[in-house]
Amino acid sequence: MKNPYPELNAFFENYNAIINIAQSKAIFVRAIEIQKEQIEILESLLKKITEEKHTAQKEGNNEKSNLLLCIGLSVGAVINELTLITKLKEDKPDEAWDALIIAQNSISSAIRNHPFNGDYLEKYAYKLYSYEKLLFPEMYFASRGCTVSKSKCSICGEKLEHCEHMKGYAYMGELCYEIIEEFESLDEVSLVKNPADKRCRIIGFPEDGKTYDIFTHREIKEKK
C-alpha cells in the first residue's frame, strides 16, 4: 500500500519487505520450520506497529492511529494464516480452524476500518475465505440467545445505546466492542450455518452408537 505519512517511509519500507516475504512462505508445501520462523518475525513487526500506533494516539491523530491499527490487523491475519498451515501439518485441525477464523475476522476489520481505501485487501480476504471451503467440511455452529442486564462500551465506558460509538468500528486506533458485565439469562442455543462466531462449532457427529470428530473422523472417547 502507499504511505500517506512521509515520517513513516522507513517504517513502511520495512513493513512491505517483511510482509511480502511472509506471504511467500504461507504456502502449504513450504517447510514448517521456515513458516514458524516467519511467525516470530511477524510478531516482532506487530510490536513495532503497536509502538507506532501509540505514538500516533499521543499525537491525537485519528486517521494515522486507525491506519496503523489496520496494518496491525493485516499482520495478525498473516500470522494466523501461517498458524493455520503449521497446525494442519501438526495434525491439530481444531487449532488450525480457530486460527483461520481469527485471520478472517482480522482482515474484515482491517477492510472495514481502513481510513483511506482498504480495497487492496479484498483479494487476500478472498484467499482466507477460500481456505474454509477447500480445507474444512461443511458444518453447523452453535448460536446462543441471551439477555444481557449490564454492559458497556469499550471506548467510553458508557452504555452502548447511550454513546456515539459503534461495535466493530475503530476510534483513535482502538476497536469498539461491548463489554458484558452481567448476564440475566441464557434464553436459547440454536444450530445455524452462519453464526456470529464460527469458533462456536459442533465438533462431533454420532454414528453406530459412537461419536466421531467432524474434522478427523476419529472416534471421540470420553475422558475418564
DSSP state of 159: -
Q: pLDDT-based confidence at 221, cuts 50/70/90?
A: confident
Same domain, 100 and 48: yes
Mean per-residue pLDDT for 41-53? Answer: 97
Give domain status of residue 219, yes or no.
Answer: no
Helix axes 93-113, 62-89, angle to 10 degrees: 160
Same domain, 74 and 58: yes
Q: Kindly report the length of the chain.
A: 224
* Residue 40 structural domain: 6-135
33 has pLDDT over 70 = yes
Taking a C-beta distance cutoff of 8 angstroms, is the pair 139, 201 a contact? yes
Q: What is the DSSP string of 49-116?
A: HHHHHHHHHHHT-HHHHHHHHHHHHHHHHHHHHHHHHHHHHTT-HHHHHHHHHHHHHHHHHHHHH-SS
Same domain, 152 and 122: no
Q: What pLDDT is stored for residue 1 in this prediction?
A: 64
Q: What pLDDT is stored for residue 161 in this prediction?
A: 82
107 has pLDDT over 80 = yes
145 has pLDDT over 80 = no
CA angle 46, 50, 55 (to 5 degrees): 150
Same domain, 62 and 77: yes
Q: What pLDDT is stored for residue 119 in this prediction?
A: 86
Give the number of domains in the chain: 2
The candidate with the shortest Cα–Cα distance to 107, out of 129, 85, 86, 88, is 129
Give domain status of residue 11, yes or no.
Answer: yes
Mean per-residue pLDDT for 174-203? Answer: 84
Same domain, 55 and 163: no
79 has pLDDT over 70 = yes
Same domain, 49 and 118: yes
The candidate with the shortest Cα–Cα distance to 120, out of 61, 71, 85, 49, is 71
169 has pLDDT over 90 = yes
129: three-class secondary structure by DSSP = helix
Give domain status of residue 1, yes or no.
Answer: no
Same domain, 173 and 95: no
Domain boundary residue, one of 111, 135, 159: 135
